[in-house]
Amino acid sequence: MKTRLALVSLPIVGLVACGPVATESSAAASARPTVGGTAAAPATSINPARAADLPPPTSKATVRVERSPAMPATVTGIRFGRHTAFDRIVIDLDKYKPGYRVGYVPRLVQDGSGHVIKVKGGAFLEVRLEPSWAHDENGRPTWGGPRLVDAKLPNVIKIARVSDFEGVVKIGLVLKRKAGFRVLELSGPNRLVIDVAR
C-alpha cells in the first residue's frame, strides 16, 4: 500500500512518499516511562518498514517518558499521513531525544500566556516535549509554516503548534473523535511518531 505524507517544514507544506529510512532502535536507557501514571514499557521502537502494517491503536491512556538529554531536543518539522487503520503524525527531531507526555486534554493552552487555541474539534491530543525547543539560538523558528495546519485526515483534522516556551514544545492534534493512540520512537534520524485510530 502506498502511504502519503504531508511535510510541514519551514514555510513549505508538501506531499512526500514514506519509505523505510531507519533501523530498529530502543528508548534511551535514561528514559523513565509511565502510562497513565504507572510504570510501563518505553514507547515502542519499531522498524519503519513494519510500521505501516501495525493494527489500529486501542489505548487512550496518557503516555509519559522522562529524559535528561545533554541538550534540549530541537523540533525540525512535522509530517502526517494516512494508513489503512490509523492516521500517523511524525515529529522530526535533531540528534537529541526529549522526554514527552502524550495525552488527551480538554483544550489546547499556550504555556506562558495561558492563551487557549480556539479551534473546533471532537477531542484534543496534546504532545508535550521536554526538554525541547522549536527555535535556534537566535530565536529563529526551526519548524516553520503556519501555526495551524489542515491535516484533513480521517480523524486528525488539524495540527496546532501550541507553544515553544522555556524548554517545552507543545503540539496539539485536533481530532474528530477521541480514539486510541500509540507512541513510537524511530532513529536515524530521530522521530517521535503518534498513531491515532480512526
Q: List, for residues 90-139, the tens digit of each pLDDT value.
A: 999 999 999 999 999 999 999 989 999 999 999 999 999 999 999 999 99
Which residues, listed in sequence order, are joined to residue 183 by a DSSP beta bridge? 194
53 — pLDDT class (breaks 50, 70, 90): confident
The total number of structural domains in the chain stands at 1
How many degrees, rounded to 5, is the angle at CA 97 between CA 172 and CA 134? Answer: 50
Residue 157 has pLDDT above 80, yes or no: yes
Give dist(CA 99, CA 94) in Å, integer. 14
171 — pLDDT class (breaks 50, 70, 90): very high
Q: Which of 42, 146, 143 is nearest to 99 (CA)?
A: 42
**Which pLDDT score is estimated for 9?**
38
Give dist(CA 137, CA 108) in Å, integer. 26
Contact present, 128 and 161 (Cβ < 8 Å)? no
Residue 13 has pLDDT above 70, yes or no: no
Which helix (H) or strand (E) is 48 found in, with range?
Answer: helix 48-51
Global pTM reads 0.78
Which whole number is the average pLDDT over 10-28? 30
> Which structural domain, as residue segments, surrounds residue 107?
4-197
CATH code: domain of residue 43: 2.60.40.3500
**Which pLDDT score is estimated for 46?**
55
Residue 43 has pLDDT above 80, yes or no: no
